Structure 1
Amino acid sequence: MEFISTNQFDSEAEKVVWDAIKQQFNDQPGYCWHRYPITSYSGPRLEPDIIIIHPEWGLIVIEVKGCYLQNIESIEGYTWYMREWYKEEIEPYDQAQKHMWAIIDRLKQFNHGFLRDEQGNCKITGKAFVALPYVREPLWKKRFQEHLSAPKWELIFSGDLEDEQLSQRIINSPIKQKYPFQEDSKEWKTAIAVITGSQGIQSKKRRPTKNKNSKAAFLEKSRKKLNLLTFNNIKLLFKLLLDLKELEGLLEQEK
């Protein structure tokens, strides 16, 4: 798996989850981004804590909260009422879902439905999780097991970040990827390119030209070559971003 972090960690909790994912998923296929800016199809810019795309697991969006169990006073629906926390109310799962659906919508709309199945659903299944690296699952269940509003399978606990448990948490979720992808397939490459922004969303459908020598045909051929070139250079782009971040850190230390 390729790991790309384009921003500083907002909290130690984010780094704990990120390091665990890198350790457990190092040999897995796919991509994982930390704080990667995504422009939704409707326009707003998003910055999910962690995004994973896997050819068999689909799209996974993780919202990280570094709270302890005692910081959660109660849960009603999507709202968590907090004590001794930076906000009195948070909606972490709703936030993760909104980010997930925004990315799914972007994938569905690309190229007039290239990544949609016959029923109009996205070929990439989305899952949203809330990671609680400082909360143990037995204690959560003891307090919230009978609570109808509390999340059940949508949580990643401290124990999942150890001993290769995180993949089992994802695999055992009730939402499954229906269309596993081959990494050399056009659908898989397109999904990666759409998420990274190397393929834009067409706002208007263009009629295919019949004249192969026309300007339109030349532009279409050039666009396809450019998209392929862009995709093949994604890793180089990510490396440059990481090098820039490292350089910024060194410059800050010298001030």
Structure 2
Amino acid sequence: MQNRQFIATEPIGQSGERGEQQVWDSVQLSFARRRCLGYWRYPIFSPMGKTRKEPDILILDRELGIIVIEVKSLDIDQIVGINGHCWIVQNFYTETLNPYEQAERQLFAVLQYCDREPTLHQKVPGRAMVALPYISQAQWRERGFDKLPSNPPILFQDDLPCLLDRIKQFPCVVSARSPIEQQWILLQSAIAGTALYYPNTSDRWRLYSPQSRADVLVKVRQHLNQLDIQQERISKAIPPQA
């Protein structure tokens, strides 16, 4: 049975995606017991619909906030050199890569989307990182890449079995406290595109105090809209292959 906690928005399994599959499998194993929601290839469009940013892996975690992982299935010999954030590569679909900048841009795009909700504005922590499933830490050090000034957070091949612990060690690009329960519900809703909280008479979005008279209505709406979130997860997921 497919785990609706982890959603693949397109099929995985093309020849160039074996490394991505390894990282995605590790994410599912590492985060299986956590309150989280994971997406493989979550599409993000600009407000005008002109550009599309598609994180390889997007994770919403109750404690850690938003995590973006950009996966590059490179062998160590394919990396010719690194100049700042620019990686010069060979025998790949392109000659240059900017994987960490790419992950950061995708993270900020997700955060910008969430910031439209005042309750979430600048209150969600975020991490960006690169995953290299075919390269070990030892191979990286042998090439001297670990001594470069621009040494971004990287998940190596030998990090995959302990992926969650490794992710926790990486610094936040955007620092904030872990979301409170109401923010966590709203964060899931924002990514799902489902409104859980409705405007009050002043047309400002807000979370109601647990002691307020409106709390009963809010709780009812939460229960009803949890069904919407479940439906959204089902709609984005790719049906299991026969």
Q: TM tier, shorter chain?
A: 0.7 to 0.9
Q: Paired residues, what number?
A: 220
After superposition, the Cα gap between the structure-2 partners of 1:228 and 1:46, relative to the gap in structure 1 and judged at 3 Å, is farther
Deviation at 1:6, TM superposition (A): 1.5
Equivalent residues in 2 for 1:192-203, closer than 5 Å: 192-199=188-195
SS of 1:98 mapped into structure 2: helix
1:5 aligns with 2:8: yes
- Within a 5 Å distance, the mapping from 1:44-193 to structure 2 comes to 44-110=51-117, 113-116=118-121, 122-143=122-143, 144-151=145-152, 154-162=153-161, 165-175=162-172, 178-182=176-180, 185-193=181-189
Q: Can you list the C-alpha shifts for 1:96-153, whole angstroms capped at 9, x where unaligned?
A: 110000111111122xx2213xxxxx111111011000000122123212222332xx
Which residue number corresponds to residue 214 of structure 2?
A: none
State which of 25, 28, 38 in structure 2 corresponds to 1:19: 25
> What is the rounded CA distance, in whole Å, between the counterparts of 1:109 and 1:58 in structure 2?
16
- Cα shift at 1:30: 1.0
C-alpha spacing 1:16/1:88, structure 2 compared with 1 (3 Å): same
What amino acid does structure 2 have at the position aligned with 1:233?
A: D
Matched residue SS, 1:109: coil
Report the CA distance shift for 1:137/1:124 in structure 2 as closer, same or farther (over 3 A).
same
TM-score (norm 1): 0.76
What are the equivalent positions in structure 2 for 1:226-245 lying under 5 Å apart?
229-242=224-237, 245=239
Task: Answer whether contact 2:127 2:171 (CA < 8 A) is retained.
Answer: no
> Per-residue deviation at 1:237?
3.3
Contact 2:78 2:89 in 1 (8 A): yes
> What is the deviation of 1:12?
0.8
For 1:29 and 1:223, how far apart are their aligned partners in 2?
Answer: 22
Give the aligned partner of residue 215 of structure 1. none
The code of the aligned residue for 1:3 comes to F
Q: Given that residues 72 and 80 in structure 1 are in contact (C-alpha distance below 8 angstroms), is that contact kept between their aligned partners in structure 2?
A: yes
Cα distance, 1:36 vs structure 2:
1.9
- Tell which deviates more after alignment, 171-180 or 56-65: 171-180
Alpha-carbon distance in structure 1 between the residues aligned to 2:193 and 2:235: 16
Structure 1 CA distance, aligned partners of 2:28 and 2:34? 10
Gaps of at least 5 residues in structure 1 are: 117-121, 210-221, 251-255
Larger radius of gyration: 1
Amino acid at match of 1:191: L
Cα deviations by residue, 1:200-231 (Å, 9 ceiling, x for unpaired):
9x9xxx8449xxxxxxxxxxxx9997776344
Question: What percentage of aligned pairs have identical amino acids?
Answer: 30
The one-letter code of the counterpart of 1:173 is F
Is the Cα–Cα contact under 8 Å of residues 123 and 179 in structure 2 kept in the other structure?
Answer: no
How far apart in 2 are the matches of 1:94 and 1:240?
30
CA distance in 2, matches of 1:41, 1:59: 20
| 1:146 alignment partner AA | K
Aligned partner letter, 1:149? S
